[in-house]
Amino acid sequence: MDLAGNVDLSGANPLTDTLVASAPGSAGNAANRQIEQLNGAIDASGTTLAAVAAAVATATPSTSPVIPGLATQATTCASLRSGLYRVLDPHESSDDPASEASLLRIDAVASTATDTGPGSDGAVTSLTPVAGSPCSFTFAADYGTGTALVSTGGSSVMGA
């Protein structure tokens, strides 16, 4: 199992296995490596252990709060995080109903969005931060230049 591409959870159960911590001359065991990977993912994501613990404590079986919180964030917008996003576009329904809901893979570090939905062409679009407007980006679109605004909760709105 993989936690947001950052923590390999195979080979050990961090809840039940004995922890053998690393020390000079000893790398520790798989449980120790998982903890070190998790700490690295938390640091890289710009979040805190307390925020991850709070997300886990309030999680339900139908939610996955930890993965988005550990995903890498954009340098210009902490709310824009790498991951797979669902795009809803009601304007596409008349031209191409299959495009009404599509998938984008956001790479927050590279500031790109890749079309990954069924039947997509894999097109990569650059997201350009708008100077003086945190969490606002422009991108090239079929109709000219589009704008994407990202909320503090990570939702975004895109349009002309």
First and final C-alpha spacing in the chain: 40
Per-residue pLDDT tens over the stretch 31-55: 888 778 777 777 776 677 777 677 6
More confident residue, 156 or 59: 156
Residue 132 backbone class (left: φ over 0; alpha: ψ -120 to 50; beta: rest): left
pLDDT digits (tens, 9 = 90+) for 90-131: 655 555 555 566 788 888 889 998 888 777 778 888 999 999
Please return the burial class of 61, using the count of CB atoms within 10 Å of its CB with bins 0-12, 13-18 and 19+.
exposed
